[in-house]
A and B are shown apart, each in its own frame.
Chain A
Amino acid sequence: MEAKTLFDKIWDRHVVENIEGGPDILYIDRHYIHEVTSPQAFTGLENRKVPLLHPEKTVATADHNIPTKGQHLPIQEVLSRQQVKTLTENCEKHGVDLYGLNHPYNGIVHVIGTELGLSQPGMTIVCGDSHTSTHGAFGTIAFGIGTSEVEMVFASQCVLQPKPRKMRITIDGELQKGVTSKDIILYVISQISASGATGYFVEFAGEAIRNLSMEARMTICNMSIEMGARGGMIAPDEVTFDYLRNREFSPKGKDWEKAVEQWKQLKTDEEAVFDKELTFSANDIQPMITYGTNPGMGIAVQGKIPALNSVPKQNQASFQKSLQYMNFKPDTSLVGHRVDYVFLGSCTNGRIEDLRAFASLVKGKKKASTVTAWIVPGSQQVAKQAKAEGLDQILEEAGFELREPGCSACLAMNDDKIPEGKYAVSTSNRNFEGRQGPGARTLLASPLTAAAAAIAGKITNPVDFL
């Protein structure tokens, strides 16, 4: 039999038809939607007078627009309230399960899909959201789509997709103390650039990846879009099965055993060939932070911003534009630079392990008085678990407050906006100009690096606190 990659095995199984000279018709097993990218797709469907083909394969949540304080009250901002209301009405009308505001399962779409066991190995998963790549951590083909494609899935349970090329990124060896999966992915993107994997679907492999928990794996796959990849994936193993066992929507009893047998087949054959292979050593990775306005502009916290003459000539104008926005200088260190805001949360780092890591570092210390910190759990279930473990107490004693779940300051569609010119160390995924509010300056980092910044009030190597 022909040797195949994990990606090929799942993709080929889902091709309904290969269009001559065009894309594949790809069948979708799971479709997630949220309030921002779905309304026009529902309207389109209604204009065509076509029903939603499989409402049971779509799951909805409200996350992008919702406040992270006072969720029991009506949403104050009119347009946000309207968008969330439209989602509720559309889901009712078309028979889609909705975990809306105040539902015990509400939360960021990429946090709830995984914690509820809705994302399972071997599936094809899409959502009108680029961070759908998160679900690839379970050995799925998961990718973000546009609203026209959301409408395609509503109408036909399929999308038209050209088959991407395949890349494998192997991380060998063991991580050093204080280095997390967020640092791995920021390091990889800094090495290959924000467009280094465009056109590819990436499988992550190697000892350092195998040793990660499911939540840490999700962080890596989540940010594969930030190097341009169509998606990222990791072959399922015992860690995956342990995570999924007894989740709300995981198979149960005999079905579970049958499913695990099938899932165990989901790995890249030894002889399979990738279009591109990259290997990195875990030992080379240190706690990372970004200094610029795309996620590829990252350095070790202890390192220096590149000197202008070390940047390729054709990139120098963009590099300088970035530094001007950030008000940083080439060839300087960020250590000791003032930090105004700290954001812990998002689909990248808003899970229970992220809250635990943050709490473990700040425990018994005090937040710097000059820092405003927003600690936003990724879902209601994460919030509940954090309280059950007493993390809210630890945070409170250190001067932090646990807010209510949502996308929050990651994209600042709600009130959680970083003010103009302020520096935010953020555990989210994008440091684009204005991403966290007009004029906001974002430095992406791990929960540990964010916690160290919150305590010190400046950029600090988290290893010094461990």
Chain B
Amino acid sequence: MSLPKFNILESSCVPLPVENVDTDQIIPARFLKATSREGFGENLFRDWRYNKDQSPNKEFVLNSPVYRGSILVAGKNFGSGSSREHAAWALFDYGFRAVVSSFFADIFKNNALNNGLLPVQVSEAFLEKILNAVQADPDVQVRVDLPQQQIILLPTNEWESFEISSYKKSCLLNGFDDIDFLLSKKEKIKAYELKSELLYGT
């Protein structure tokens, strides 16, 4: 099994300057009844994206004719609340490959990384800079460079570095998956179990 690879991404952005976007907004609970991983993009941000009569809400950014791209730029504390990995699946299925925010909830961050969706944490100031640039010109290109761990606002070349563990970086660059990695550690896990049983009887 493999993870979708991520290397360098250059794209225009979709701005969502809202704080505390919880995973219930990203994918409401009533759409969690599927038993496969596919098709969640259809209901991404469902209750913000559609009006009560199910017509598209023209005010919401995903329905805007001008904002396009595979980078979502969102307010701080993105992905809080429920641990549903369906949120990461929905964002990826819709076409996003990176989410930029000044702060991510822990579980969402893990889920995103486990699905080839890169969470890029930037400073409040840089987040504001990108949002302003995108709102002034929706075609503004941003480059997310994983090997260099940099995010660059291309028209002005303003950039910031972002953090990612070297293990996760290598997984994304090479398309390696955590489960294959853990399976390769079988002997170590077995040894741990034997030691733990001796020490604690568990």
Partner among B1, B33, B47, B182 whose Cβ is within 8 Å of the Cβ of A65:
B33
B52 touches A420 (CB 8 A): yes
B43 within 8 A of partner (CB): no
A144 within 8 A of partner (CB): yes
Min distance, Cβ A163 to any Cβ of chain B, angstroms: 11
A198 touches B83 (CB 8 A): no
The 0/1 profile, CB within 8 Å of A marked 1, for residues 17-30 of chain B is 11110101100111
A130 touches B33 (CB 8 A): no
A258 touches B178 (CB 8 A): no
Min distance, Cβ B99 to any Cβ of chain A, angstroms: 15
**A129–B23 alpha-carbon span in the complex (Å):** 12
In B178-193, the 8 Å CB interface with A consists of: 178-179, 181-183, 185-186, 188-189, 192-193
Min distance, Cβ A418 to any Cβ of chain B, angstroms: 13
On whether A44 and B1 interact (CB within 8 A), knowing A27-B196, A148-B85, A258-B201, the answer reads yes
Partner among B22, B111, B168, B185 whose Cβ is within 8 Å of the Cβ of A17:
B185
A158 within 8 A of partner (CB): yes
In A300-355, the 8 Å CB interface with B consists of: 314-315, 317-318, 321
B66 within 8 A of partner (CB): no
A413 within 8 A of partner (CB): yes
A156 touches B107 (CB 8 A): no
Query: Chain B: how many interface residues by the 8 Å CB criterion?
Result: 58
In A41-73, the 8 Å CB interface with B consists of: 43-44, 47-48, 50, 64-65
On whether A156 and B186 interact (CB within 8 A), knowing A40-B37, A130-B83, A147-B85, the answer reads yes
Partner among A22, A122, A321, A413 whose Cβ is within 8 Å of the Cβ of B29:
A413
A146 touches B114 (CB 8 A): yes
Contacts of A321 on B, CB cut-off 8 Å? 18
B77 touches A130 (CB 8 A): no
Contacts of B20 on A, CB cut-off 8 Å? 194-195, 294, 318
On whether A155 and B183 interact (CB within 8 A), knowing A294-B80, A412-B29, the answer reads yes
A43 touches B202 (CB 8 A): no
B68 within 8 A of partner (CB): no
Which bucket holds chain A's interface residue count? 35 or more
B63 within 8 A of partner (CB): no
Contacts of B189 on A, CB cut-off 8 Å? 16, 25, 27, 156-158
On whether A144 and B107 interact (CB within 8 A), knowing A22-B166, A157-B189, the answer reads yes
A315 touches B19 (CB 8 A): yes
B136 within 8 A of partner (CB): no
B175 within 8 A of partner (CB): no
Contacts of A144 on B, CB cut-off 8 Å? 83, 107
B25 touches A432 (CB 8 A): yes
The 0/1 profile, CB within 8 Å of A marked 1, for residues 119-143 of chain B is 0000010000000000000000000
Min distance, Cβ B141 to any Cβ of chain A, angstroms: 26
**A19–B182 alpha-carbon span in the complex (Å):** 11
On whether A318 and B75 interact (CB within 8 A), knowing A44-B1, A162-B165, the answer reads yes
Of A79-87, A95-103, A272-280, the one contacting chain B is A79-87
Point out residues on A near B: beta carbons under 8 Å.
13, 16-17, 19-23, 25, 27, 29, 36-37, 39-40, 43-44, 47-48, 50, 64-65, 79-80, 82-83, 86, 122, 128-130, 144-149, 151-152, 155-158, 160-162, 164, 194-195, 198-199, 225-226, 228, 230, 258, 262, 294, 314-315, 317-318, 321, 411-413, 420, 430, 432-435, 438-439
B106 within 8 A of partner (CB): yes
Nearest CB to that of A84 among chain B residues?
Answer: B33
Nearest CB to that of B20 among chain A residues?
Answer: A294
Contacts of A164 on B, CB cut-off 8 Å? 106
B105 touches A438 (CB 8 A): no
- Extra 18 A-B pairs, beta carbons < 8 Å, given A195-B77, A435-B29: A27-B189, A27-B196, A36-B33, A39-B36, A40-B36, A86-B35, A128-B83, A144-B107, A148-B85, A155-B183, A157-B189, A195-B80, A226-B81, A228-B106, A258-B201, A430-B24, A438-B47, A439-B52
B83 touches A195 (CB 8 A): no
Contacts of B35 on A, CB cut-off 8 Å? 39-40, 43, 82-83, 86
A23 touches B165 (CB 8 A): yes
A148 touches B178 (CB 8 A): yes
Nearest CB to that of A314 among chain B residues?
Answer: B124
User: Can you list 8 A-B contacts (CB < 8 A)?
Assistant: A37-B84, A146-B84, A158-B189, A162-B165, A317-B19, A318-B20, A438-B52, A439-B52
